[in-house]
Amino acid sequence: MDSTEQSRRERVAEINANPWSREALEAQYGKVWSTAEMSAEFTALGFAAPFIHVVRKSDGVRGSLEFQHMPRFYYGFQAAR
């Protein structure tokens, strides 16, 4: 069993109950990506909603993004330690 599943489910419900606009996400988290923009800048390695594990194409840095479902935006890049 995934020890993060319950907390991830709660976060997914929270995010998608009141999805933010791109502008609101940018004000809170900085850079925000649409699906096409995220795919151009990152390689997706795996999803565990509301997170996606990625590699930044420009420098190979691994990390994660958070995402909301509708409208689909990715935000909050955190480099892996």
Instruction: Read off the pLDDT of residues 28-65 as tens digits, 9 standing for 90 and up.
Output: 999 999 999 999 999 999 999 999 999 999 999 999 99
Residue 62 is inside which H or E element, if any? strand 62-68
Residue-range domain boundaries for the chain: 5-79
Closest CA to 50 of 34, 70, 33, 65: 65
Token reading at 81: 């330690």
Q: Strand 51-56: give its sheet, edge to edge.
A: 32-33, 73-79, 62-68, 51-56, 42-48
Cβ-contact 39, 53 below 8 angstroms: no
Instruction: Read off the pLDDT of residues 65-78 as tens digits, 9 standing for 90 and up.
Output: 999 999 999 999 99
